[in-house]
Every structure is written in structure tokens, then in C-alpha cells.
Structure 1
Amino acid sequence: MLTLASLSLSDAKRIINAAEAKATQIGSPSNVAVVDAGGNLVAHVRMDGAQLASISHSINKAFTSLACKTATKDLAADAQPGASLYGIANSVDGRIITFAGGIPLKSGDAFVGAVGVSGGTADQDQAVAEAAVAAL
């Protein structure tokens, strides 16, 4: 029998709440997106003062980390000219993001969704995303 696991809306709200708390703590108004195991948006928040351009970045970081089954920050080095993943950012209709802030979410060995954060520096986005993951 095939069993699929995915994030619930309740999970997504808990993840977003933790992300908002960390973003507030470090002074980085952020967009936070949570996708389910199929890469579909479950929830998104744009904190007051967060950049408008970062809305799609947060959603696409979440999608990327789930689709590639790795944190987006770990794609950066291999996405540079001459590296093995050069050009990946142009794939999947341009939805692939190769900078920090996207982290897949797992339950045991199963990928159940992902979180994407955008609005601050790469280090800030990664810190907010890590706090979000810790809430799961």
C-alpha cells in the first residue's frame, strides 16, 4: 500500500509563526511560504515592510528545496558558470532559486513539504528558514 504524507495547514501556520518570530527578532521583515509534499502552496505571509519582489522568491525557494530535495543554499556553488548545475535557474519555467532561504521539510525519510523565506540578506533568510524548520 502506498502512503503519502504531507504538511497540514496547522503545520504550516506553526512554521510561519516561528519564522515570523525569528524575522522580528533579527529585524528582517520577510515573506514566508510553506508548500506541501506536491510543491503546492499551503500558506504564505508577507510581514509588514517585507519586499514585494520577495513574495515570489519565497514561494519559489520553497518549491526549489522540495523539488531538488536540498536546501537552496546548497545549490549555489554548483549553479555557477562551469559547475555541474550551471543553468539550473533557467529550468522549471524559471522557478528554481539557488540562494539561501529554502529548506525541505521531512518526517522520517519522507519529504512532506518545504519552507521558503525571502526579504533579508542570504544569512537572514537562512536563519529565519532554520527557525521555521525547527518548529516542525
Structure 2
Amino acid sequence: MLTKSVLTVAETTQILDAARAEAEKNQWAVTIAVTDDGGHLLSLLRLDGCAPVGAYIATEKARTAALGRRESKVYEDMINGGRTAFLSAPLQGTLEGGVPVIVGGQVVGAVGVSGVKADQDAQIAKAGATALNG
């Protein structure tokens, strides 16, 4: 039988804090979602000024990154590149801003961010996703 690492409240808080620090450093009003490796929501923070829809979008971006085991931007690029059949995949967060959390070479969860430009969402998500690696 295999064993695997899982995110606890302590790690989830560490991820959320790192992502929040990156957002606040840049004065970006966003929502940050952290999921487990199955895409189930563990933590959600909507910063002051972020539109309510950000909570839904950030969660779906994180879910997509967790289930796909890759950044959600990969799917956005695939669809924009002409592979429109991928729109029928059972993922709703196929926009940049979802990043898997990788520990020991295994995806243990993901971070999704929504509220600013796509590359800025990804910047915040990456800050959170790498918080456990240093």
C-alpha cells in the first residue's frame, strides 16, 4: 500500500498566508482558494474589494489544477490554441490562476486565485503553492 502526504490546517494556512501576502503587497483585491488533491475546498479567503464571483472562480481554478495535476493555464492555452473540443471536459476553471501544490513530487492540493489580471492571479497562486517548499 502507498502512503501520501496530505494538507493539514497548518499547511493550508501557510499557503493561504503566502498568497495573501503577495496579493496585499501588490494591493490586489482577490479571492484565494486552497483545495486538496481531489479538488475539495479546504480554505477560502475573499479580500476586501473583491467581487463575490471571485469565490466561485478561484475555487474552480484550484479544482482544475488539483484534478489535472497542472496549472489551469495549460487548459486555457489548449482551448485558445484551437482544441475547442476540450470545452466538453468536466472542468469549469480552465482559466489562468490555478496552480498545483507539489510536495515530494506529488500533487497534494492546489491554489486558485481570481480578481485581477490572469498573470497576476497566477503570480499570487504560485506564491501560495510554493510556500511549503522553502
TM-score (norm 2): 0.90
User: Which string of whole-angstrom CA distances, capped at 9 and with x for unpartnered residues, describes residues 12-42 of structure 1?
Assistant: 1111111111111112111101011222111
Distance in 2 (alpha carbons) for counterparts of 1:75 and 1:38: 18
Cα distance change, pair 90–9 in 1 and its aligned pair in 2 (3 A)? farther
Residues 46 and 55, structure 2, Cα contact 8 Å, conserved in 1: yes
Corresponding residue of 2:102: 106
Map of 1:1-136 to 2, 5 A cutoff? Answer: 1-80=1-80, 82-83=82-83, 86-92=84-90, 95-136=91-132
Q: How many angstroms does 1:81 deviate by?
A: 6.6
Give the unaligned 5+ runs of structure 2: none
User: Which string of whole-angstrom CA distances, capped at 9 and with x for unpartnered residues, describes residues 100-131 of structure 1?
Assistant: 11001111221101010111111210111111
Aligned-partner residue type, residue 79 of structure 1: I
Distance in 2 (alpha carbons) for counterparts of 1:81 and 1:106: 27
User: Which string of whole-angstrom CA distances, capped at 9 and with x for unpartnered residues, describes residues 35-71 of structure 1?
Assistant: 1122211111111111111111100000000111110
Distance in 2 (alpha carbons) for counterparts of 1:37 and 1:126: 18
Give the unaligned 5+ runs of structure 1: none
Secondary structure at 2:39 match in 1: coil
Q: How many angstroms does 1:90 deviate by?
A: 4.1
Number of equivalenced pairs: 132
Aligned-partner residue type, residue 6 of structure 1: V
Distance in 2 (alpha carbons) for counterparts of 1:63 and 1:134: 17
Seq. identity, %: 33
Secondary structure at 1:45 match in 2: strand
Q: CA RMSD in A?
A: 1.5
Distance in 1 (alpha carbons) for counterparts of 2:85 and 2:50: 28
